[in-house]
Structure 1
């Protein structure tokens, strides 16, 4: 036993002495033009193993209050985070300077036009404003068609599909809708039996700690119309803690003010979900498999190099948001126009992660996720006539998968070659230590590895893009469509006379734009930070296989073509685009960033 230990120590010492790439400084500064290699092809396996051991010591797991998943610590990790901040902070500061400059101008413009006296006046918030922060305003159609019920329902099939699900015939209905037959031609139970009924449930939000603004945890029913096939809203039930038994159910049969308020309350929930769930749904979910990979794969392993590319500067976001939580918890500061406290947001986002809703790796593969919620390939009920989120996301994700397939197949000639990659097997084992939930139990096939890498790219480039950056400010948090908070308590009876009493003031409206403009990257449109350029790193590609380089060219060409297609979309003779009274353009590959920016 003693001899065995001594032999191991001597071998490790010899490896360290044999290669300059085994100290932390050398690992950090390593830069050569050699081709990336798999472990079996490395000319100096001892040095490679010692390099990984140095990384394991320099990249360790730490608990973190925001986002639940482990956060890196250690000498190498801390240096990397500091360097990332140098890259990441300037655009944040530039955006803050722009909003600080433009917000008082926008506020004065609203006042000069007579203030906000009706919902349509919120156009003043965006019109000819925010030249640097948010020049194009909300996505086309939102401001002009926000009263259209199809705007409300189709947002669930584009900008915010993450809590939508088809109600199964065996599910218990959450609340009755007496007007269902009058609205749809079918009773609620008939809609359910035919697989036409859908649900969004944010009821847990009623438990969040309130500010001096107001909100509710809502449940909403949507349905596929039995004749037109349109996806439409049926009912909204806002729930307030302590008043659950007397909760009102709103439908399109109610007055215009009552129904609009109900829709905006559910929109408020989707906006909150976008704001806080994206922290764990894109950032945490992608970071922790990546951290496990850093600790187990050589810097010369092509898979880790690819992860470095798609996980660009990921470590800065959660500390920034955590600082915001703490600042927002101070007595004289904080989220003045949110209905709930920032500490509640952190707690809620952490609960969403811990529940597995966003942390489970394989069940959140985009097709699997949509199938499990009955949104595609449902075994019961009719298919959705139009599903813009899926239509756009499928094009991009399958293009990513095509690239990853060529990339992986160019390095692994067979599934057996994957199974024999000792570093990949170590990565898989490490995901247990890292608490990556629902990660594949083995990496023994090319298909499994392709799925993993495709999903990692999907989390940063698509989920984040929909829930932050291009999304959010242009759709799920736009005004008057989705206020962050309401100025009046949630009604105990129907008959709202003046809906503007509930709505944000001019100051509150400007605050909402400033808050979400922090994530918007309009200036990156048509730059190399976009999805089209996801794999366009020539320094990286020069050290990879010729097949990978060709696949990167094809991906770029395919994304450029898809961008042209998105930008050519218009409204049809009925004022609709793919069944929507708005043009959802968030996934334009030459606008949406390829990485989780903020």
Structure 2
């Protein structure tokens, strides 16, 4: 795969050299310190409009088989993609070099200890084997408490919250559980009527093209116990359900974070001037966004055995692409407004439910709320510093053009109008959430530490760690690539309002404080942290990258 990526880089670099010169206006803006301006304040509106038209010709829509959403093409788009790939590739190659070196060493170490004869032996897979690739191993508690039912249940509320939902009293039960009362003290119908029943449904996976590995498209009920949790060791069922979660995070993250963010961003590039503060903000949020889908597509179709898929999954890679495209096209992962984090969680009955008891612990929501509301606070200052009123937003011709363009770009469920500051704040907050939070939970820091960790999420062994280590960025811990630095682009901030610069400092301070809070967490006297027998730290703002890395 790496060879193919290098080839594409070389081809793209050639495109850069052959692409026509940018307009004089664009070159001027690239080489001076003019502040970002709204259309009505531009000293030369005709030149501004002309530069946008040049961009429209240089950034065009093309179909792409992976992730469904339009992918950019054109002279300017190709030049940008080439520059992005030149920046994006070195960390990928460095990670590949580390896993190439450490994978065989880990395999030999496992063999020397007798291989895997029981589930507990999988601890040897991580024991000091990945000094560069994955030095801290899975999230604390995962390897020692994987048989605890609370590990399984609480992963639904932290590592993989995107497919769990509360069962409504009016919903038809998908399958019976005859001995539910013996297990829970209440029948399935009683749990449902009380709003205590939850569902995670992966049944569509049974229709995917299989490999020679064992797997199942699982459905699972979860419940809030009226009394207390009992210890039931349904290990095989739990492992199969976790395998489904691993598949979900692997493939649906492409559409839930990458494609969902790329579509409105491409529409913005085609309609907003490079001098517009909103596009400047989007450029910061969407760092090198155009690289991953070609890489994944290449891995699907040009591997040694593309129909067999990764060696640890029960379904083929081609099925993975088809499935990812289906969940995007259905709107499940692509819908813009209905995937605002609070709206999404409310629609699934996980917060602010009108029936049933509240969740006692919801680690995903607890951490995400701190980060996203801080992002929203920053965006509110940013937007209000440029627009004195809602009518000022309505009069921004480029913003209105962006909204219309989202129809052309096939952005699902985008706001029907941008006529208020709140609407614009919501849009920008969600764009940052898609790259910095959704991607971080489903890929980057998340997957290798929880949903794909062995033995609880069985699939492969050394190969599984090698694959998911490619997304992990341990070496970026406490660097300026993390969420705390989301708005710390001094070149951008120097051309923005004083209020925006102050808001960026406040955001950084808030994230630093939250990072300290995350790192200070401990297990209580019962061996739990926020109801979990593991320490979920995926969204530590000084570790989680602020952008969709891979």
CA 1:28–1:318: 2 relative to 1, 3 Å: farther
**Counterpart contact for 1:329–1:341, Cα < 8 Å:** no
Matches within 5 A, 1:8-407: 23=23, 26=26, 30-228=30-228, 252=232, 256=233, 259-328=234-303, 330=305, 334-407=309-382
Whole-Å Cα distance in 1 between the matches of residues 444 and 311 of structure 2?
22
**Counterpart contact for 1:328–1:342, Cα < 8 Å:** no
Aligned to 1:430: 405
Whole-Å Cα distance in 2 between the matches of residues 565 and 331 of structure 1?
44
Runs of 4 or more off by more than 4 Å in structure 1? 24-29, 331-334
Whole-Å Cα distance in 2 between the matches of residues 218 and 25 of structure 1?
56
Whole-Å Cα distance in 1 between the matches of residues 296 and 458 of structure 2?
21
Whole-Å Cα distance in 2 between the matches of residues 208 and 478 of structure 1?
23
SS in 2 for 1:72: strand
**Counterpart contact for 2:196–2:224, Cα < 8 Å:** yes
Aligned to 2:531: 579
Whole-Å Cα distance in 2 between the matches of residues 405 and 155 of structure 1?
33
> Over residues 33-63 of structure 1, what are the superposed CA-to-partner deviations in whole Å (9 max), with x where a residue is unaligned?
0110000000000000000000000000000
Question: Where does structure 2 lack aligned partners over 5 or more consecutive residues?
Answer: 1-20
Instruction: Provide TM-score, normalisation by structure 2.
Output: 0.95
SS in 1 for 2:510: helix
**Counterpart contact for 2:439–2:548, Cα < 8 Å:** yes
> Over residues 178-226 of structure 1, what are the superposed CA-to-partner deviations in whole Å (9 max), with x where a residue is unaligned?
1110111100000000000000000000011111112110000000011
Quote how far apart the aligned CAs of 1:393 are. Answer: 0.2
**Cα RMSD (Å):** 1.6
Are 1:563 and 2:522 an aligned pair? no
Quote how far apart the aligned CAs of 1:335 are. Answer: 1.7
Whole-Å Cα distance in 2 between the matches of residues 83 and 333 of structure 1?
33
Quote how far apart the aligned CAs of 1:86 are. Answer: 0.3
- Select which of 414, 419, 429 maps to 1:454: 429
Are 1:552 and 2:527 an aligned pair? no
Q: How many residues align?
A: 531
CA 1:24–1:110: 2 relative to 1, 3 Å: farther
- Select which of 447, 454, 471 maps to 1:519: 471
SS in 2 for 1:160: coil
Quote how far apart the aligned CAs of 1:333 are. Answer: 7.3
**Counterpart contact for 2:141–2:533, Cα < 8 Å:** yes
Aligned to 1:487: none
Aligned to 2:439: 464
**Counterpart contact for 1:165–1:375, Cα < 8 Å:** yes
Question: Where does structure 1 lack aligned partners over 5 or more consecutive residues?
Answer: 1-20, 234-251, 485-507
Which of 1 and 2 has greater Rg? 1
**Counterpart contact for 1:194–1:380, Cα < 8 Å:** yes
**Counterpart contact for 1:327–1:333, Cα < 8 Å:** no
Aligned to 1:531: 483
**Counterpart contact for 1:22–1:50, Cα < 8 Å:** no
Whole-Å Cα distance in 1 between the matches of residues 306 and 487 of structure 2?
46
Aligned to 1:489: none
Quote how far apart the aligned CAs of 1:31 are. Answer: 2.6
Whole-Å Cα distance in 1 between the matches of residues 424 and 449 of structure 2?
35
**Counterpart contact for 2:242–2:457, Cα < 8 Å:** yes
SS in 2 for 1:438: coil
Whole-Å Cα distance in 2 between the matches of residues 343 and 329 of structure 1?
13
SS in 2 for 1:83: helix
> Over residues 244-266 of structure 1, what are the superposed CA-to-partner deviations in whole Å (9 max), with x where a residue is unaligned?
xxxxxxxx4xxx4xx21110000
Whole-Å Cα distance in 1 between the matches of residues 304 and 407 of structure 2?
34
Whole-Å Cα distance in 2 between the matches of residues 521 and 383 of structure 1?
35
Whole-Å Cα distance in 2 between the matches of residues 329 and 202 of structure 1?
28
